[in-house]
Amino acid sequence: MLINPDRPDECLICGSPLEYLDHAEEMTCSVCGQRFSDRARCVKGHYVCSQCHMGGLDSMISVCRRETSKDPVAILDELMSLPFCHMHGPEHHVLVGASLLTAFRNSGGNVDFDRCLSEIVSRGRSVPGGACGYWGACGAAVSSGIFVSVISGSSPLAEEPFALSNRMTSRALSRIADVGGPRCCKRDSYLSVKEAVAFVEENFGVKMETSDIICSRSSRNAQCIRERCPFFPRA
């Protein structure tokens, strides 16, 4: 099994802390053996590529197809509880858009669901881990923009859909920046989904349901910001 159960927020091979480099280096994935240029590895030298980190997305697709909830937070929590989803990682760059698309469909949004879900998976997979710190654009926020891009039919040559998808990403990024770092993929995913729920009602007239969020995973995050996080359990 890839994930290390004792340190689920660190190296997926041995549980050691990760180190983030200020420049890309050639690394060999400890799972698939392929070489990549990347910036993150564990202090003992293990490296897991983004594609291996996201192994198991097929199980996510199956859940989304049969899900009937109109609440993207509830759907996101279900997806984040699947065995393939780690505490942190680029899989969240797909999960945010997928949970929003599923709730959007279930709330009356008119979409070709399978085609749109396939696009969200394809586009989200291309956003690398660490984009939050290295690009200045958290992948969870980008995933919310991908969702809007897909449902609006945006492209580089579009007019209003182009504006909408960029506004969505900008809005999610702004909220994530307000809370600050260090990164937490769960927190940033929740923030992006909550912003998207309001954005979709304002711009598409589709009202999705929302639920209160109380984090149940803070003990698994060595970098948890605790009381600074809006979802940290209060006594």
Q: Are residues 96 and 183 part of one domain?
A: yes
218 near 202, Cβ under 8 Å? no
- The pLDDT of residue 78 is above 90: yes
According to the model, what pLDDT value does residue 9 have? 60
E strand map for 43-150 = none
39 near 134, Cβ under 8 Å? yes
User: pLDDT > 90: what percent of the chain?
Assistant: 71
CA dihedral 38, 44, 49, 55 (to 10 degrees): -160
Domain presence at residue 233: no
Q: Are residues 134 and 200 part of one domain?
A: yes
Query: b/e map of 128-143 (b: 16 or more CB within 10 Å)?
Result: bbbbbeeeebbbbbbb
Domain presence at residue 141: yes
| Residue 20 banded pLDDT, cuts 50, 70, 90 | confident
According to the model, what pLDDT value does residue 143 have? 98
Q: Are residues 128 and 115 part of one domain?
A: yes
- The pLDDT of residue 124 is above 90: yes
The two three-digit tokens of residue 113, written as one number: 């669901």
Q: Are residues 41 and 126 part of one domain?
A: no
Residue at which a domain ends, from 37, 53, 69: 53
Which amino acid is it at 81? S
**How many structural domains compose the chain?**
2
Domain presence at residue 235: no
Q: Are residues 132 and 94 part of one domain?
A: yes
Domain presence at residue 150: yes
Domain presence at residue 234: no
Residue at which a domain ends, from 10, 33, 53: 53
- Distance of alpha carbon 227 from alpha carbon 5, whole angstroms: 25
Q: Are residues 89 and 34 part of one domain?
A: no
Q: How large is the average pLDDT for residues 203-207? A: 98
Q: Are residues 199 and 120 part of one domain?
A: yes
- Distance of alpha carbon 65 from alpha carbon 68, whole angstroms: 9
Look up the domain containing 22 and give its range: 1-53
| Residue 1 banded pLDDT, cuts 50, 70, 90 | very low
Q: Are residues 81 and 187 part of one domain?
A: yes
17-21, 23-27, 123-127, 205-209: which has the minimum mean pLDDT?
A: 17-21
Which amino acid is it at 177? A
Q: Diameter of the chain by CA atoms?
A: 51
Domain presence at residue 123: yes
Q: How large is the average pLDDT for residues 180-184? A: 93
Domain presence at residue 222: yes
The pLDDT tens digits for 31-50 are: 999 999 988 888 999 998 88
According to the model, what pLDDT value does residue 6 have? 46
According to the model, what pLDDT value does residue 8 have? 53
According to the model, what pLDDT value does residue 5 have? 46
- Distance of alpha carbon 169 from alpha carbon 150, whole angstroms: 13
Q: How large is the average pLDDT for residues 86-113? A: 96
Q: Are residues 59 and 79 part of one domain?
A: yes
According to the model, what pLDDT value does residue 81 have? 93
Residue at which a domain ends, from 31, 53, 75: 53
| Residue 57 banded pLDDT, cuts 50, 70, 90 | confident
The two three-digit tokens of residue 189, written as one number: 């995913």
Residue of 49 and 145 predicted with greater confidence: 145
- The pLDDT of residue 147 is above 70: yes
Q: How many helices (H) and strands (E) does the chain have?
A: 9, 2
Mean pLDDT for the chain?
Answer: 92
Q: Are residues 122 and 110 part of one domain?
A: yes
- Distance of alpha carbon 163 from alpha carbon 74, whole angstroms: 28
Q: Are residues 90 and 175 part of one domain?
A: yes
Domain presence at residue 128: yes
Q: Are residues 90 and 33 part of one domain?
A: no
E strand map for 54-176 = none
